Amino acid sequence: MTPEPVYAIAQLGAPVLRQIAAPVADIHAADTLATIAALQDTLANSQGVGLAAPQIGISQRIIIVASRPTTRYPYAPLMAPTVMVNPRYDITSAQQEKDWEGCLSIPSIRALVPRYQHISVHYTDTAGEAVSLALDGFIARVFQHEYDHLEGKVYLDRVESSLDIVAESEFFKRLAADKMPPPSQPD
């Protein structure tokens, strides 16, 4: 079996990023398996901590959450790459926190985004099994960021003030100078 190609990441303005993604009817269908493999390879060859199918131009409800420290996310906790098909979530606490996010589809920008800190996620795994799990903090943020891509949203849609948006170069200057907390930016 040949590896799936690494796809180009759709950039802000691409119509696929503003569409509501279609549900996956058959996890074992050849096109679904190809999409999953392409997502895995594309994410593995990026500095991201998550990726959604619309970001590689495929409007299907599939995401991967794969938190790990990278140059873009030096403080990210470790989480094995987890493929989630037809995901949904419930808010388990109304507590929100504003923290920094970035996106492979919106390079060179970071912004403070409010997100729920405690959620329960439900999805189908690659074996076709229903899975539910609780997510908190950074991993909950990554999930919500990727889920937004399935709903035709990007993180900038959730920013409360344009003053909360900075150039990535400025973000890293502030981080180096300890003028802001460690990054918690998904994707």
H, E, C per residue of 117-145 = CEEEEEEECCCCCEEEEEEEHHHHHHHHH
For range 45-53, the mean pLDDT: 94
Residue 118 annotated in ligand binding? no
Strands 118-124 and 106-116: unpaired
160 catalytic? Reply is no
Close Cβ partners of 19 (under 8 Å, ≥ 6 residues apart): 54, 59, 152
For range 1-8, the mean pLDDT: 62
User: Domains in the chain, start-ordered, CATH in brackets?
Assistant: 15-176 (3.90.45.10)
Position 73 scores a pLDDT of: 83
For the chain, give the mean pLDDT.
Answer: 92
Close Cβ partners of 15 (under 8 Å, ≥ 6 residues apart): none
Q: Which of 97, 101, 146, 151 is catalytic?
A: 146
- Closest among 143, 123, 43 to 35, alpha carbons compared: 43
Residue 81 half-sphere exposure toward CB, CA atoms < 13 A: 20
Residue 28 annotated in ligand binding? no
Q: Specify the 3-state DSSP secondary structure of 168.
A: helix
- Decide if pLDDT at 63 tops 80: yes
